[in-house]
Structure 1
């Protein structure tokens, strides 16, 4: 367990050392409240998110739309009440022009009203709950990630395409885990041979692994973020089950691979982006990110980098007139920037319309681990809640 914890948190120290000095914006500048968890075992994800946005600012010479940019860091501590207090301070005391970031959906839900009711644009770079994709869509809310349901549904489609008739499903026993199962089932046409929910504090998966071995499924589907995923992957390999295809979401990625290493080789993930995507913007982002921060970026970083580019394009379109909210919203909707993931545009609900990929864990010649694209599964996919959004 200690080894896994060091691996997952390894990026935190590297990111902190690489944190650049962002000068305080003067008159005519733009202030960004950057919400990124920096406390506890999930800080690695927040560090990825933070460093991705800062890499975007580096590529933009510290400016957004030609305006000097100041970042106001906000550690939400993965506590909704703390997030609300700190975000209110950023809005009222620091007078931030935008609030950007957020790893977890419960934090996003907590800060949504105080941010948007103040007439401030909130750009989520990871959390994408269905709550705000359908009837709860908001003219002051955008996300550069995805709707949460979509990524899990990708693996349901993969299982169907691969003609896996019998799949064992296992996720944590909380709302996001149950949402993951629902997303998977939405596109899976076969039989779920067992549906197992484990505590968020689970360390030992021996009982569940025995059930998998006994049921002899064609594949397993799992969503086990952070330390859960580190333990499951290592124990799955040790139990001799690697011959059963491992389909996952947020279980094997660049935030957990430093701890999982060889145990994760060949395992599958679903994502709208991977470090090896073959386009000029992505190649530049990955190369400069690794050079600057010393670790491989995950989707948390890539989506935050895109958020910086989105803001740059929108502020430039309105000539720096941050007070013209209607014009700024129109400029954000245009998404006139080059995304690291290739195809990207906003739907009517301000959630991306984009491609989703089946990815596989690989070991690079330099010894580092990353996920790499295998094939495109969904093209220009619109999230399932968009039709319920009345915002046009």
Structure 2
């Protein structure tokens, strides 16, 4: 023991920076895990933990301890939890985060801490642009990206007139901006719904009156479920295609079932993407949890794989965070998506797909890829990141 201490003291005096290898790595997982939107955060967590379990409690060959925290979709609580994880619990990584308002609240204390962050859902525009942080990485997408995918798809399909339906909120207007970034046709009407709106008769009449070539809807959660169920029950849209953003996914499909058949959805991930990692992930998730995974689960799984790759490349947990940072930036891991490359803002260059809802061999509603309108595409804000 004395000899080891003496060697360590001599190394400090001479300025030798021999890497310190951790006995374990602590990871703070922070997401929305309670309330009406808890399913999103829970899927992020289950995807992340599936990767850890497959590696017998290790990432990069290093044992990991995951400290799970629920922000309750409260930005102030999220900021406090980040401070506790980084200052009191001394985590080496923070991951997760479901919603962008929580992400923006926790960004400053997280950046001050110097702890590396791997986001697996929220992707606010400021953090992709002028407020980007060199130690932040995202295995999801910038919030407006999937709306842009649907904008390009609408152009490719020749839909010249569309109606855009969204909640009457800032995020709804951001999604419209993302859609218009790639859509060269005309949005003939914007229909904004109150978050507590129980009936859609007026909205559906406005859509019919506009006589669009397609309806584009950003209606997350229960609002989207209610809207699509109403459309299916009444046949209100007739043969007009329903193109959705953040509305039809692995979270809502079990509730929607047959009501969603034929509906289109834009996403960066789907269960039928052909990468070997994805096929293995989908099968393992179904075996473990008894259901088709969502994009949130896939993004959580990729977050764990990114950390796994960084720790493996630094040979089991180099204590110098700069080495972890460089390894994460290189993104040397086999993602559930084909090829994975980070821009300087920490967001990935990636494909944007469109899926339609079909039944699988078990009769379950699932997503089938029908197009990839954006290939190896950057987000719209990366060039603002300096």
Say which of 327, 331, 334 aligns to 2:327: 331
Query: The residue matched to 2:144 in structure 1 has which SS?
Result: helix
Give the conservation status (yes or no) of the 8 Å contact 1:112–1:122: no
Q: 1:257-314 CA deviation, whole Å, 9 max, x = no partner?
A: 1111111001001111100112221111001101101221111000110110100010
Give the conservation status (yes or no) of the 8 Å contact 1:56–1:308: yes
Q: Verify: 1:195 aligned to 2:190, yes or no.
A: yes
Moved more, 145-154 or 78-87: 78-87
Query: The residue matched to 1:88 in structure 2 has which SS?
Result: helix
Residue matched to 1:110: 105
Question: What is the TM-score when the length of structure 2 is the normalising length?
Answer: 0.92
Residue matched to 2:53: 58
Q: Distance in 1 between matches of 2:79 and 2:196?
A: 26
Residue matched to 2:290: 294
Q: Verify: 1:180 aligned to 2:190, yes or no.
A: no
Q: Verify: 1:350 aligned to 2:346, yes or no.
A: yes
Q: Which sections of structure 1, spanning at least 5 residues, go unmatched?
A: 1-25
Q: Distance in 2 between matches of 1:272 and 1:326?
A: 29
- The 1:81–1:189 alpha-carbon spacing in structure 2 relative to 1, beyond 3 Å, is same
Query: The residue matched to 2:123 in structure 1 has which SS?
Result: coil
Residue matched to 1:319: 315
Residue matched to 1:6: none
Q: Distance in 1 between matches of 2:170 and 2:122?
A: 14
Aligned length in residues: 365
Q: Distance in 1 between matches of 2:298 and 2:197?
A: 29
Q: CA deviation at 1:86?
A: 2.1
Say which of 207, 211, 217 aligns to 2:206: 211
Query: The residue matched to 2:147 in structure 1 has which SS?
Result: helix
Q: Distance in 2 between matches of 1:69 and 1:330?
A: 20
Give the conservation status (yes or no) of the 8 Å contact 1:254–1:369: no
Q: Which sections of structure 2, spanning at least 5 residues, go unmatched?
A: 1-20
Residue matched to 1:141: 136
Q: Distance in 2 between matches of 1:239 and 1:214?
A: 16
The higher radius of gyration belongs to 2
Q: Distance in 2 between matches of 1:63 and 1:202?
A: 46
Residue matched to 2:233: 238
Q: Distance in 2 between matches of 1:83 and 1:130?
A: 19
Q: CA deviation at 1:27?
A: 5.8
Say which of 83, 97, 113 aligns to 2:92: 97
Q: Distance in 1 between matches of 2:206 and 2:234?
A: 12
After TM superposition, the structure 1 = structure 2 runs for residues 81-92 of structure 1, keeping only pairs within 5 Å, are 81-92=76-87
Give the conservation status (yes or no) of the 8 Å contact 2:22–2:318: no
Query: The residue matched to 1:270 in structure 2 has which SS?
Result: strand
Q: Distance in 2 between matches of 1:134 and 1:155?
A: 22
Q: Distance in 2 between matches of 1:27 and 1:146?
A: 31
Q: CA deviation at 1:85?
A: 1.9
Q: Distance in 1 between matches of 2:311 and 2:59?
A: 7
Give the conservation status (yes or no) of the 8 Å contact 2:118–2:139: yes
Moved more, 201-210 or 315-324: 315-324
Residue matched to 1:10: none
Q: Distance in 2 between matches of 1:49 and 1:388?
A: 28
Q: Distance in 2 between matches of 1:135 and 1:242?
A: 44
Q: Distance in 2 between matches of 1:83 and 1:295?
A: 29
